[in-house]
C-alpha cells in the first residue's frame, strides 16, 4: 500500500489513496474473498482444481450412463 512515511490523506471522512494502492487493496480483497468462498465450499486445502475436475468427470460419466440407459430403453421398447 502506501509507503510508511506517507500516510493516506483524509478529506471529510474520505480516505484518499493512490490508484496503485487502491488496485492493490482491491486485489487483496478479491483474493481473500476467493479464499473464503473456497473454504466455505470445503475446497481450501490446495486440491480445489483436482477436486473440481473429478466432480466434472463424475458428472460427465453420470450423463453418459443416463443417456445410454435411455437409448437402451428406447431400443428395447421399439424392437
Task: Give the span between the Cα atoms of 67 and 15, in whole angstroms.
Answer: 58
pTM as predicted: 0.49
CA torsion angle 12 18 19 24 (round to 10): -110
Say which residue, 45 or 73, is predicted with more confidence: 73
Task: Give the span between the Cα atoms of 42 and 51, in whole angstroms.
Answer: 10
- Phi first, then psi, for residue 65 (nearest 5°) are -65, -40
Residue ranges per structural domain of the chain: 1-44, 47-79
According to the model, what pLDDT value does residue 5 have?
61
> Average pLDDT, stretch 10-39?
91
- Phi first, then psi, for residue 14 (nearest 5°) are -120, 140
Amino acid at each position: 500500500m502506501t509507503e510508511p512515511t506517507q500516510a493516506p490523506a483524509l478529506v471529510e471522512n474520505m480516505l484518499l489513496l493512490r490508484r496503485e494502492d487502491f488496485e492493490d487493496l482491491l486485489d487483496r480483497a478479491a483474493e481473500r474473498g476467493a479464499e473464503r468462498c473456497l473454504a466455505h465450499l470445503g475446497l481450501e486445502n490446495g486440491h480445489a482444481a483436482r477436486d473440481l475436475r473429478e466432480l466434472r468427470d463424475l458428472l460427465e460419466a453420470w450423463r453418459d450412463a443416463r443417456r445410454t440407459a435411455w437409448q437402451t430403453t428406447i431400443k428395447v421398447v421399439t424392437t
